[in-house]
Chains A and B, each alone.
Chain A
Amino acid sequence: EIVLTQSPATLSLSPGERATLSCRASQSVSNYLAWYQQKPGQAPRLLIYDASNRATGIPARFSGSGSGTDFTLTISSLEPEDFAVYYCQQRSNWVTFGGGTKVEIK
């Protein structure tokens, strides 16, 4: 099983700041990695797939990068609605998710 480790567990930032979230895989997943956003009481929403492709309707302030074992989700300037939990997911070998990073208001 491919283990995805997300860091940090919690990120405390203010609106307008840049957020950088990390996802590390226990073995190479090539570029087969996605990012999801989940708000309390809601289902997850797909943000990024294949490491760097934005899903339909996702604002340009969200960007993804990386390949192999190290990936990054960047939110260039946090909007109030961006405070949420973010998960990475790989599909290289079945499907596994990371443990999540909570982006909270500082």
Chain B
Amino acid sequence: EVLLVESGGGLVQPGGSLRLSCAASGFTFSHYAMYWVRQAPGKGLEWVSGISNSGGRTYYGDSVKGRCTISRDNSKNTLYLQMNSLRAEDTAVYYCAKDLPPGNWYFDLWGRGTLVTVSS
């Protein structure tokens, strides 16, 4: 079964840091670009970041540029998102998503998400 499972969310104070993880299974992880997409409570979807299949190219949305770092470990089939200088407006469910090949920035497999709450 193809599966993405996020972890690492939780409650963090403004200015704090958090590292999200996404464990992939059931497909050849190293063949696909991967992404993070978030959804604030009761709101729509917002693309956060993307990474090429090799990890050599990374991309960020304007709202997180300079504060977040996406990475991957293909030997562990795991995607990461390091989030720093967190703000209240970063509160959201964070989904990892797999690319619909070949690298066309559509998302054909999603995890169930992990909730990040930024609050004092």
Contact = CB atoms under 8 A, between A and B. Distances in A.
Interface of A: 1, 34, 36, 42-46, 49-50, 55-56, 87, 89, 91, 94-100
A55 B105 CA distance: 14
Interface of B: 44-47, 50, 59, 61-62, 95, 100, 104-108, 110-113
Contacts, number: 51
A45 B110 contact: yes
Given A34-B106, A46-B100, A49-B100, A94 B112 contact: no
B107 A44 contact: yes
B38 to A, nearest CB: 11
A97 B107 contact: no
B44 A46 contact: no
A95 B112 CA distance: 20
B95 A89 contact: no
A52 B90 CA distance: 33
20 contacts: A1-B62, A34-B107, A36-B107, A43-B111, A44-B107, A44-B110, A45-B110, A46-B100, A46-B107, A46-B108, A49-B100, A49-B108, A91-B106, A94-B47, A95-B47, A95-B61, A95-B105, A96-B47, A98-B44, A99-B44
